A and B are shown apart, each in its own frame.
Chain A
Amino acid sequence: MTTLGQLILSGTFVGGIYALMSMGLTLIFGVLRIVNFAHGEFLMLAMYGAWAITRVFGLNPYIAAMAIVPAMFLFGAIVHQIIVRPALDKPHLVVVFATMGLSIFMQNAALMIMTADLWDVPPIFSHSVKIGPFYFKAELLLGFAVTILCTLFLQWLIRSTYLGKAIRATVQDGEAAMLMGIPVPRIFLVTFATGSALVGLAACLMMPLFSVFPTVGLNFVLIAFVIVVLGGMGSIEGALIGGMCIGVVQSISSYYVAPAYGQMFYFILFLLVMIFRPNGLLGQKGAATIGIND
């Protein structure tokens, strides 16, 4: 019983971190409906950044976040201007191929520069935290706490600020929003950049828990898309719930099912969700069926 409880709770916390990583995609794909296949590579880039700062300056990844988050905001803005914006007025397929191209480009550039080796940062806290009969890594709890804060912040941003209102208006009807004086291109730019800044934050929190290597994004991008779909496209709290569900399923299945097939987990889970719940947990219609033909 304790084992099961431990598995469920650690799964929930890991899932929270997955949710944080997916929130950037929730903004970019769920809200703006821009298919960013390079989302996983954004994460990879930010993880290498956090690792490099930790290694070179002897700091820890949490302090590195102060540099990584603005840097990823800038990087997102540049990618948006150079690759995404020219593709937006073209058929959907163009964005798909352009971001897929960017993803392959970043993966292989990382392979050339960093080789295929796995890199870690040393553990930050020497002790686990004991809550009742359960033990948790302090890094995990910290990451989960930041996720909750980010969820609340994003909710507030989308629901209560002018920027949030402008984003929602732009998504509902771009032309009408433009007629109301909303600078639509700038809204897209800011939202895309915010999405990639969130990935930067997630990367800093994940660095103490996961190794970084050139194709690290491939596992996580599928998880991120699953979470965005499960949560119901564009819903921030949905992403949190979706992420926690995935975390629990993963921790239980990796304990009870043969570990050799553990690495298949992300892919099989993705296919199962696509087959059985393409409309998300809350049943939002058409989540996974939108796309090129719409």
Chain B
Amino acid sequence: MRESLSARSFLVLPQRGGRVSIFEIAIFAGCFVFATVGLSQNFQDIAVLSFLWAGLALAWNIAGGFAGLISFGHAAFFGIGAYTSTILFLHFGLSPWVGIWCGGLLTAGFGALLAIICARLRGPFFILSTLAAAEVVRIAALNWASLTGGPEGLSIPPAAGMANMVFMSKTAYVIMMSVFLVAVYAVTKSLEGSRYGYYLYSVRDDVDAASAAGVNPSLVRTSAMALSAGLTGIGGSLFAQYFLYLDPTFIISPDLSFQFALLAAVGGLGTAIGPVLGSFLITPMSELLRSYLGYQVAGLHLVIYSALLIVVVLYFPGGIAGALTRIAGGRAKL
């Protein structure tokens, strides 16, 4: 039984490649202004996280949504990025402004390595391999105490200053995270209509047809994974600069990997706006839930996340972005 292309892939090809619409600019500008001007310090925390997770869900989406490389191991890249910039700063006094790029390059290398190792694997085996690889990194980070501080983690001294990339005001972090988000969004957007973007879609939808048409699948898979991992590593470094504390049981946990995948899937895989919408809706919801119900109810936010994920993938396969497109479909284009 050979299914048709549209039946096999619920991810739709973009209608208008690469162009940024008024709608998108309005969302970004509105959220940015609201976060910098309209929110108190406590709520700015939520805005910082929403922007950061949106950028990371977008980075995940390059591999998972565009190239079909569903990874449940991206927390490893996030963690390696965070550790790299922090260790370079603590041991060698290297400014995080340089360190985040080192972290990004290193994680891009790890991403390429993982894609090469898993080159022959498809579907569930690729997914489980990424999960296993991330667990290996996590256990290594926990045991390699001389480098990573082991289970106690690493702390960055809270000395505010431009050179340390540590700031007193939350508004500075809102700006930092939105620059990251806009940068990742621009990368994703440029993929949408480009030749390379179509290579990614072709490898995702039919590897055999793609290689018959002259696409080199392993090169495409490796480069997509490297790009996605590198951006995730940079996001990890930014997270370290914001929290000033690295806890290996959180920053390399499978839960965090699921979170990236989940935000992207709920928002809409393979689209640029989807993961952003997913994060802007879910992150504030779960953060508010956590602060009202207290942190003692461990796992509650993930229970809600995952129930939402099941409902969305079963009944709204295009995610939020897909549902919006369907609503807008009959009327004038957004």
Q: Is the CB of A104 within 8 A of B313?
A: no
Among listed B14-22, B34-42, B92-100, B115-123, interface-contacting one = B115-123
- A interface majority secondary structure: helix
Q: B305's closest neighbor in chain A, by CB?
A: A104
Q: A268's closest neighbor in chain B, by CB?
A: B136
Q: Is the CB of A225 within 8 A of B139?
A: no
Within 8 A of A (CB), among B285-334: 297-300, 302-303, 305-307, 309-310, 313-314, 317
A94 touches which of B129, B262, B317 (Cβ 8 Å):
B317
Within 8 A of A (CB), among B193-211: 204-207
Within 8 A of B (CB), among A22-69: 29, 35, 37
B124 touches which of A98, A225, A267 (Cβ 8 Å):
A225
With A290-B122, A292-B68, A293-B207 as given contacts, are A96 and B303 in contact (CB-CB < 8 Å)? no
Among listed B2-10, B55-63, B231-239, interface-contacting one = B2-10
B123 touches which of A86, A96, A103, A109 (Cβ 8 Å):
A96
Q: Is the CB of A108 within 8 A of B123?
A: no
Query: How long is the Cα–Cα vector from A288 to B126 in the complex, in angstroms?
Result: 9
Collect the chain A residues with CB atoms within 8 Å of residue B70's CB: 93, 96, 292
Q: B9's closest neighbor in chain A, by CB?
A: A91
Collect the chain B residues with CB atoms within 8 Å of residue A112's CB: 297-300, 303
A293 touches which of B68, B120, B129 (Cβ 8 Å):
B68
With A93-B10, A112-B299, A267-B133 as given contacts, are A105 and B307 in contact (CB-CB < 8 Å)? yes
Number of contacting residues on B, CB 8 A?
A: 53
Q: B255's closest neighbor in chain A, by CB?
A: A104
Collect the chain A residues with CB atoms within 8 Å of residue B281's CB: none
Within 8 A of B (CB), among A257-288: 260-261, 263-264, 266-268, 270-271, 274-275, 278, 288
Further 6 A-B residue pairs, CB within 8 A, beyond A94-B10, A100-B258, A270-B128: A107-B302, A111-B298, A222-B132, A225-B125, A278-B120, A289-B122
List residues of chain A with CB under 8 Å of any chain B CB.
Answer: 29, 35, 37, 83, 86-87, 90-94, 96-98, 100-105, 107-109, 111-112, 115-116, 174-175, 214, 218, 221-222, 225, 229, 260-261, 263-264, 266-268, 270-271, 274-275, 278, 288-294
